[in-house]
């Protein structure tokens, strides 16, 4: 039985990724404005729960569906790609193996059309 990424990495792949990712996003001059007025701690929790589900852990995500949550932000494909780059760099910083980063990125990309609206 192959262990899940959730078991392999533990909180590093959930709360660790969410923490590192939002630190990066908030420092990015193009992406930071998307988070003005947003409760970042709550958002980090939602993303950690989402990553738990994506990596084979428990499905703890109780936020709005992704299409509804992102509908008003006019997120472009370029924005999405920039976030994906930050995800890859955050995962690398957390010593997640390259093949596993690809697996996580592939899973996240299945939601691209729910996030991109502009």
Q: What domains appear along the chain, each with residue ranges and CATH number?
A: 5-115 (1.10.490.10)
Residue 60: its pLDDT value, please?
86
Write the CB contacts of 99 (distance below 8 Å, at least 6 apart in sequence).
none
Angle at 54 between CA 50 and CA 56, to 5 degrees: 120
Residue 92: its pLDDT value, please?
98
Tokens linked to 40:
């970042």
Residue 1: its pLDDT value, please?
62
Look at residue 118 and tell me whether its pLDDT is greater than 80. no
Whether pTM exceeds 0.75: yes
Residue 84: its pLDDT value, please?
98
C-alpha distances (whole Å) from 79 to each of 18, 55, 94, 95 are 18, 23, 23, 25
Residue 2: its pLDDT value, please?
78
The string of pLDDT tens digits covering residues 26-77 is 999 999 999 999 999 999 999 999 999 999 999 988 878 899 989 989 999 9
């Amino acid at each position: 039985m192959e262990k899940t990424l959730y078991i392999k990495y533990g909180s590093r792949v959930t709360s660790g990724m969410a923490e590192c990712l939002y630190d990066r996003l908030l420092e990015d001059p193009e992406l930071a404005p998307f988070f003005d007025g947003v409760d970042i701690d709550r958002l980090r929790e939602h993303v950690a729960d989402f990553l738990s589900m994506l990596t084979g852990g428990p499905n703890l995500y109780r936020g709005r569906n992704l299409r509804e949550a992102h509908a008003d932000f006019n997120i472009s494909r370029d924005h999405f790609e920039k976030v994906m780059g930050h995800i890859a760099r955050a995962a690398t910083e957390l010593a997640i193996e390259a093949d596993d980063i690809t697996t996580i990125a592939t899973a996240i990309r299945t939601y691209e059309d729910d996030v991109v609206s502009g």
